[in-house]
Amino acid sequence: MRLLFSLLLCLACAPAWAALEVFACTPEWGALARELGGDKANVYTATTALQDPHRIEARPSLIARARRADLVVCTGAELEVGWLPLVLAQSGNEKIQRGQPGYFEAATAARLIEIPAYVDRAMGDVHPGGNPHLHLDPQNIARVAKALAQRMEVADAQSASYYLERELAFQARWREATARWEREAAPLRGVPLVVYHKDLSYLIAWLGMREVGTLEPKPGLPPTTAHLASLLEQLQKAPAKMVVRSAYNDPRPAEWLAQQAKVPAVLLPFTVGGTERAKDLFGLYEDTIQRLLAGAR
């Protein structure tokens, strides 16, 4: 009798369903998984907005998290090539290996830009499949949301209708917000700016802004004194409206160039968590646009 009572007590305390364990490589995909997964998903994000997404270490803690994941959600396009393959291999978790239903790359559902005709080491850190920072185009977010919801339905078939409902609700909110952002950001069209790295290309293309220089002499190479001096000379002939950097970038080169060129240095969140207001995907876009508008005044 005591054993039966203990068993009934355990059943009463246990959750009615087991949460879908999601391992997200970057904050934007962690945020999207939470939007779609609601209280059916337990989402772990492997990196933060203050970490360079190109330079992550395959720490034991990441391997431990991957070991119990049902679904891995990453960018792809070789953004995580320096650490994710090792995490997956060391996890021993068959269902999240590449090619399995538990492995999802956002890049497979998005439209990539800046796809090089060829690649060699002299070009710097260039991705052969295209620019991987695809989350700063809201249309890509919508495309990835649809594909990710479908993958969550496969990973947790019992809750398939729940993920579908949340995806449809998210898409409706996202369409409305995107239309509003495009109206608000209309004054940014044609505005010239200098960026730190080629991580804002999708945002610039969406808003119709103009990139007129990069602080990095080549993608992935730190700014040098000679390159910054050359860039300053260029801006004296053809000025930019602002110098922009992402939250994870070293602020010093951007601030130096902005001070010398007498234009604002603008910090953008880049991803969820990059600024106080960028608490989710909606906050990421809202704060980004407001910061750009302030810099363009």
**What are 149's two structure tokens?**
């919801």
Sequence-distant (6+) residues with CB within 8 A of 68 are: 21, 93
| Segment 192-244, tens digit of pLDDT | 999 999 999 999 999 999 999 999 998 889 999 999 999 999 999 999 999 99
Q: Tokens 């090089």 identify what position?
A: 116
**Kindly report the CA angle at 108 between 103 and 114, in degrees rounded to 5?**
135
17-180 is a CATH 3.40.50.1980 domain: yes
Check: CB of residue 188 under 8 Å from CB of residue 292: yes
The alpha carbon of 238 is separated from its chain's Cα centroid by a whole number of angstroms, namely 31
Q: For residues 135 and 130, which has the higher predicted lDDT (pLDDT)?
A: 135
pLDDT tens sequence across 252-279: 999 999 999 999 999 999 999 999 999 9
Interacting residues of 255 by C-beta distance below 8 A, sequence separation 6+: 265
In the chain, the amino acid numbered 29 is W
Same CATH topology for 17-180 and 186-296? Answer: yes
Q: pLDDT digit string (tens) for 211-224?
A: 999 999 988 899 99
Reply yes or no on whether the pLDDT at 93 is more than 70. yes
Q: Which CATH number does the domain 186-296 belong to among 3.20.20.140, 3.40.50.1980, 3.40.50.1970, 3.30.70.890? A: 3.40.50.1980
The residue ranges of every structural domain in the chain are 17-180, 186-296
DSSP symbols for 187-245: GGTT-EEEESSTTSHHHHHHHT-EEEEESSSSTTSPP-HHHHHHHHHHHHHS--SEEEE
